[in-house]
Amino acid sequence: MTRASATLIGLLAIVMWSTLALFTAASGKVPPLQLVAMCLLVGGLLGMTRWPGHPGRIALAFGQSGAVYALGCAGLFGFHLFYFTALRHAPVIEASLISYLWPMLIVLFSALLPGERLGWHHLIGAALGLAGAVLIVTGGKAIAFRIEYLTGYLAALGAALSWSSYSVLSRRFAHVGVDVITVFCLASAALAAIAHLLLETTLWPQGPGQWLAVLGLGLGPVGGAFYVWDTGMKHGDIQFLGVSAYAAPLVSTLLLIVAGYAAFTWVVALAVVAMTVGALIAARDILLGHARMKSPRQTGTG
């Protein structure tokens, strides 16, 4: 698999994450942790469809080191636990803003990986992407952070750190195939179910529409997306994917506008410009045809 194809596969995760708000709005009033458990179970079952007739994939999924499984569960379950804790202890706008630091952190942390180089265009692209995300989340209005919400703010930061760390550290296990994500989903679903039983009251989806929305979440943003993101993080352009991740809240908002849940405003238009310019700057190497290679280029001497 080439770096370019892996990057394109990773971008599919961002497309899927863009449907998160729409599917969540259509899923009714299912408690958050219960919803995560249900969706991750669907994601795990999705991965298991690759196993019949391929015993090697089952061996690969269950034959990894404890460090691999710890990383996967910390990423999938840790992010959602921190994020929903943040929403319980801080206003949703502030919690969302802090948690949306994870794409920027991916760009910064990637510089620590062997063979990766962090360029000025990555930093500028990430900064513009973050600015666009701030506009989308706040609606262009000023916000104030208050000390009484410190627990929620720290939890939101924990969400950003857990997902960015998981994403970047996945590169260290590039030799591990995507089938291991199936185990990550199933194990994290079990942990989310336990947390739900301890912290929430069970409420099932009402009607086929809400059940289909839960299924859509599991096949897409809270399940299926983790498989393609794993490929992108392990074999693609990690800095470009990090910057591009800021497109998720923007596309999500545009989908809500099309579906009639939100209105198009100048703030959305400005966010479109910021994120588009940021992505183009971050993709400088790709657009110029000088994407970094794993080994030095061979040149002829004539």
Per-residue pLDDT, averaged over 262-288, amounts to 70
> In angstroms, rounded to a whole number, what is the distance separating the alpha carbons of residues 35 and 66?
27
Closest CA to 109 of 248, 242, 245: 242
The predicted pLDDT at position 282 comes to: 66
> Which residue, among 78, 73, 125, has the nearest Cα to 243 in the 3D structure?
125
Looking at residue 291, its pLDDT comes to 45
Query: Chain-wide mean pLDDT for the chain?
Result: 83
- The dihedral built from the CA positions of residue 150, 152, 158 and 161, taken in this order, carries a sign that is negative
The residue with greater pLDDT, 127 or 215, is 215
**pLDDT at residue number 258:** 79
pLDDT tens string 40-49? 999 999 999 9
State residue 228's pLDDT score: 96
pLDDT of residue 225: 95
Give the confidence band of 56 by pLDDT, cuts at 50, 70, 90: confident
CB 241 within 8 A of CB 11: yes
Mean pLDDT (whole number) for 207-225: 94
The pLDDT of residue 272? 72
- In this prediction, residues 231-252 reach a mean pLDDT of 84
b/e sequence 235-273, b meaning 16+ C-beta within 10 Å: bbbbbbbbbbbbbbbbbbbbbeeeeeebeeeebbeebbe
Let me know: does 108 contact 160? Beta carbons within 8 Å. Answer: no
Q: Which amino acid is at 91?
A: P
Cβ-contact 214, 35 below 8 angstroms: yes
